[in-house]
């Protein structure tokens, strides 16, 4: 018999005034679940996740959690108040009896020491600490809201590897297509307040969604025709009995009500970059450029030419010096050695990662107009600010909204709207994809594809890099930057490896678990016999093989419908899993015993 769901939401609804945010959401999380939760910005994904975590009470609906089930929720903005170090923060998430060594392992793997002051963490460091706290207790259910935000490529790839091996059921919200495709086996779509589910990972979702919209549009067209036919009959049809007329009139009113109540998908973002007069053919040229801070070399002997119309991606681990490199290329910093020259007639537009230009007290309109009137000029054409905001999915009533109440995705869309209104022939975008929904990412990609100027893009989104850039400049360490033709995947093929962390994280796969010293070790200076030496040499491969087998068996058993479909296979896989876990535990115990003998 299949195991019962760990967590169930049925008919959940929540309204924050006006149109309901969520009005018919269902969510079932089975043991071993690997699901992604997708939907437009503002559709209520994070709210639904918080309801699932028990942090928000819905207006109606049922939430049921199996007794004894543990849940960990990764919020977009974790609360570090009351903790003196990151280790204290991570250990606060542990259950009684949990081993502290896992907290330290996760912190080290994510590039933290555990002694950092939480009040002084950057966005990326805060996200790493929050991830460590969520993963440390090895819960039954993991709810992760945008776990890759502010992470660099090495951390994202490490996290993918770690999540593949956790036993917890996963529900993920992310804008990173490749991350979702790698980890999900089911997709829950929150659309206009209701959820729809397909038993496929994210890689199959977009084709299914597009087919759904096409079918919905056909149904809407049929409804419009039916209304038109009924209206024509009432005006010009043969006179019939009064009761029949009254019934058909009632039917028409019902059809019209159905049409009024039909909630269409939210409109698409319309993006158009303000373009200035063309720059010269040469945009930037670096010759033997170098830049250092103290003894640390950020850029060493860089020679690079960026021509008009180029699409250059810049990738590297956090702290590799990507921002310093951008400042060198755009003339904000002078090199310590060599030269960097900008071309003629350059008009630069920089969208920085810090989003520092947004002041909390400003209104949305003030951000776009600079506080001067109600119009914004795009490509020489004056437009009313409300019409321009609609292109970026802002409602008219949000025009006077303070920036401080906007969501992360809305702030990012506003910054992009402001940036694209400025005439420029050189776009420099530093992490533009953070907090954007997938449809907005698609339209941003299309806009950049049609942009006539030059683009320099810093991003950790592998899929977005593959779709947009023509070459990738990679931090190779010690200030060396190397350019590779093609997108991120092409770069990995040419290098033979992805991006490495500046301080290499611990191995993604945990080493054999810490255990107390084995009992019964002989006194004195014991020696390993030939048989023991051979066993010690071969045990790591056996442990790795057992771990691989366990991962495969857990994948098989994660299928919630397996027992109903094939009970014999379910029983066989369950028995094999129990045996493999027993053998793994024995192998790790033996490896530890022999290793202690060898060290003695």
∠ CA 492-498-500, rounded to 5°: 155
- H helices of 53-204, where? 86-91, 101-109, 123-135, 153-165, 177-183
Is 572 assigned a ligand-binding role in the annotation? no
DSSP letters spanning 244-301: HHHHHHHHHHHHHHHHHH--PPPPPP-----B-S---SEEEEEEEEEEEETTEEEEEE
Is 41 assigned a ligand-binding role in the annotation? yes
Containing domain of residue 97, as a range? 7-202
CATH of the domain at 587: 1.10.287.380
Q: What is the pLDDT along the chain (600 residues), one digit of tens a residue?
A: 567 899 999 999 998 766 678 888 999 999 999 999 998 877 888 899 999 999 999 999 999 999 999 999 998 788 888 899 999 999 988 887 777 888 888 998 888 899 999 888 877 788 899 999 999 988 999 999 989 888 888 889 899 999 998 899 999 999 888 999 999 999 999 988 899 999 999 988 888 888 887 887 777 767 667 666 666 555 555 444 444 455 555 665 565 555 555 554 555 555 555 555 566 788 999 999 999 888 888 999 999 999 988 999 999 887 788 888 999 999 989 999 999 999 888 888 887 765 556 777 788 888 888 877 788 877 667 888 888 888 777 878 888 888 877 776 777 788 888 877 778 888 898 888 877 777 778 878 887 887 888 999 998 888 889 988 999 999 988 889 999 988 898 888 888 777 776 543 333 333 433 433 434 444 444 556 656 777 777 888 888 788 888 878 777 877 767 767 777 787 787 778 777 777 877 777 777 677 666 665
Residues 45 and 187 reside in one and the same domain? yes
The burial of 457, by beta-carbon neighbours within 10 Å (0-12 exposed, 13-18 middle, 19 or more buried), is given as: buried
The residues, ordered by sequence, that sit 6+ positions from 297 with a Cβ below 8 Å of its Cβ are 290, 291, 478, 479
Range 556-560, long-range pairs (CB < 8 A, 24+ positions): 557/31, 557/32, 558/30, 558/31, 558/32, 558/33, 558/34, 558/185, 560/2, 560/5, 560/30, 560/32, 560/33
The reply to whether 276 falls in a domain is no
Residues 414 and 483 reside in one and the same domain? yes
Residues 592 and 545 reside in one and the same domain? yes
Is 322 assigned a ligand-binding role in the annotation? yes
Q: How far apart are CA 364 and CA 294, in angstroms?
A: 41
The burial of 137, by beta-carbon neighbours within 10 Å (0-12 exposed, 13-18 middle, 19 or more buried), is given as: buried
The burial of 362, by beta-carbon neighbours within 10 Å (0-12 exposed, 13-18 middle, 19 or more buried), is given as: middle
Question: Quick count: other Cβ atoms within 10 Å of Cβ 204?
Answer: 14
The reply to whether 267 falls in a domain is no
The reply to whether 523 falls in a domain is no
Q: How many domains does the chain have?
A: 4
Residues 306 and 435 reside in one and the same domain? yes
Q: Distance between terminal CA atoms of the chain?
A: 50
Q: How far apart are CA 12 and CA 20, in angstroms?
A: 11
| CA separation, residue 116 to residues 94, 101, 108, 125, 372 (Å) | 19, 17, 12, 9, 44
Residues 362 and 443 reside in one and the same domain? yes
Is 42 assigned a ligand-binding role in the annotation? yes
Residues 410 and 477 reside in one and the same domain? yes
Residues 301 and 424 reside in one and the same domain? yes
Is 323 assigned a ligand-binding role in the annotation? yes
Q: Are strands 194-198 and 141-145 parallel, antiparallel or unpaired?
A: unpaired
Boundary-marking domain end, from 495, 515, 546: 495
Residues 314 and 360 reside in one and the same domain? yes
Residues 346 and 448 reside in one and the same domain? yes
Range 214-221, long-range pairs (CB < 8 A, 24+ positions): 220/262
The residues, ordered by sequence, that sit 6+ positions from 361 with a Cβ below 8 Å of its Cβ are 402, 403, 404
Contact present, 99 and 510 (Cβ < 8 Å): no
Is 45 assigned a ligand-binding role in the annotation? yes
Contact present, 494 and 484 (Cβ < 8 Å): yes
Boundary-marking domain end, from 202, 218, 243: 202
Residues 190 and 232 reside in one and the same domain? no
Boundary-marking domain end, from 472, 495, 518: 495
CATH of the domain at 194: 3.40.50.300
Q: How far apart are CA 219 and CA 549, in angstroms?
A: 48
pLDDT at 273: 53
Is 332 assigned a ligand-binding role in the annotation? no
Contact present, 38 and 45 (Cβ < 8 Å): yes
The reply to whether 332 falls in a domain is yes
pLDDT one-digit tens code per residue, 345-402? 888 888 776 555 677 778 888 888 887 778 887 766 788 888 888 877 787 888 888 8
∠ CA 139-142-144, rounded to 5°: 145
The reply to whether 514 falls in a domain is no
Residues 83 and 190 reside in one and the same domain? yes
Is 43 assigned a ligand-binding role in the annotation? yes
The reply to whether 371 falls in a domain is yes
Contact present, 275 and 424 (Cβ < 8 Å): yes
The reply to whether 269 falls in a domain is no
Is 319 assigned a ligand-binding role in the annotation? yes
Q: How far apart are CA 467 and CA 488, in angstroms?
A: 9
Question: Which of 53, 65, 61, 54 lies closest to 24 in space, CA to CA?
Answer: 61
Question: Which of 442, 435, 445 lies closest to 415 in space, CA to CA?
Answer: 435
Is 290 assigned a ligand-binding role in the annotation? no
DSSP 314: E
- To 10 degrees, the CA torsion angle through 204, 205, 210, 214? 90
Residues 167 and 61 reside in one and the same domain? yes
The reply to whether 520 falls in a domain is no
pLDDT one-digit tens code per residue, 416-431? 888 777 788 888 988 8
Q: Are strands 348-351 and 426-430 parallel, antiparallel or unpaired?
A: parallel
The residues, ordered by sequence, that sit 6+ positions from 129 with a Cβ below 8 Å of its Cβ are 78, 80, 86, 89, 90, 107, 110, 112, 116, 118, 121
Helix (H, G, I), strand (E, B) or coil at 583: helix
């Amino acid at each position: 018999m299949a195991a019962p769901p760990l967590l169930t939401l049925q008919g959940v609804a929540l309204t924050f005034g006006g149109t309901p945010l969520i009005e018919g959401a269902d969510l079932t999380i089975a043991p071993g679940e690997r699901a992604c939760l997708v939907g437009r910005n503002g559709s209520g994904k994070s709210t639904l996740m918080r309801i699932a975590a028990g942090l928000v009470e819905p207006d109606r609906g049922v939430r049921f959690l199996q007794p004894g089930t543990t849940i960990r929720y990764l919020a977009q903005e974790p609360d570090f108040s009351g903790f003196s170090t990151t280790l204290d923060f991570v250990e606060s998430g542990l259950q009684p009896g949990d081993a502290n060594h896992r907290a330290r392992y996760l912190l080290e793997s994510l590039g933290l020491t555990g002694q950092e002051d939480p009040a002084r963490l950057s966005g990326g460091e805060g996200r790493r600490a929050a991830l460590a706290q969520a993963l440390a207790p090895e819960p039954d259910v993991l709810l992760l809201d945008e776990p890759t935000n502010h992470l660099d490529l090495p951390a994202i790839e490490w996290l993918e590897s770690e999540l593949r091996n956790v036993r917890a059921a996963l529900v993920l919200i992310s804008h990173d297509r490749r991350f979702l495709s790698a980890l999900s086996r089911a997709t829950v779509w929150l659309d206009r307040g209701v959820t729809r589910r397909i038993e496929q990972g994210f890689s199959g979702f977009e084709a299914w969604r597009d087919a759904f919209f096409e079918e919905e549009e056909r149904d809407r067209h049929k409804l419009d025709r039916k209304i038109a036919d009924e209206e024509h009959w009432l005006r010009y049809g043969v006179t019939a009995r009064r009761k029949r007329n009254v019934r058909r009139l009632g039917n028409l009113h019902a059809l019209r009500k159905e049409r009024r109540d039909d909630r269409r998908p939210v409109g698409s973002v319309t993006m158009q970059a303000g373009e200035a007069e063309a720059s010269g053919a040469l945009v930037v040229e670096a010759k033997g450029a170098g830049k250092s801070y103290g003894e640390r070399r950020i850029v060493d002997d860089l020679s690079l030419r960026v021509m008009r119309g180029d699409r250059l991606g810049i990738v590297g681990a956090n702290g590799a010096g990507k921002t310093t490199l951008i400042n060198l290329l755009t003339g904000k910093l002078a090199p310590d050695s060599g030269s960097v020259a900008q071309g003629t007639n350059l008009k630069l537009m920089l969208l920085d990662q810090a989003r520092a230009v947004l002041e909390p007290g400003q209104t949305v309109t003030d951000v776009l107009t600079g506080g001067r009137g109600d119009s914004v000029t795009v490509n020489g054409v004056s437009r009313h600010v409300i019409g321009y905001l609609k292109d970026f999915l802002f409602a008219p009533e949000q025009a006077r909204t303070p920036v401080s109440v906007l969501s992360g995705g809305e702030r990012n869309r506003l910054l992009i709207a402001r940036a694209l209104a400025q005439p420029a022939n050189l776009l420099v975008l530093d992490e533009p994809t953070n907090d954007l929904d997938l449809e907005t990412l698609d339209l941003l990609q299309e806009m950049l594809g049609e942009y006539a100027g030059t683009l320099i893009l810093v991003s950790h989104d592998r899929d977005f890099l593959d779709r947009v850039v023509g070459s990738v400049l990679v931090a190779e360490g010690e200030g060396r930057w190397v350019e590779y033709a093609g997108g991120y995947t092409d770069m990995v093929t040419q290098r033979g490896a992805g991006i490495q962390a500046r301080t290499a994280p611990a191995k993604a796969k945990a080493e054999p678990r810490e255990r107390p010293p084995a009992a019964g070790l002989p006194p004195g200076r014991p020696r390993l016999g030939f048989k023991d030496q051979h066993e010690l040499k071969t045990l790591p491969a056996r442990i790795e093989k057992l771990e691989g087998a366990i991962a495969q068996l857990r994948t098989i058993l994660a299928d919630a419908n397996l027992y109903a479909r094939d009970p014999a296979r379910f029983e066989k896989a369950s028995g094999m899993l129990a045996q493999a876990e027993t053998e793994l535990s024995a192998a790790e115990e033996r490896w530890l015993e022999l290793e202690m003998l060898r060290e003695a």
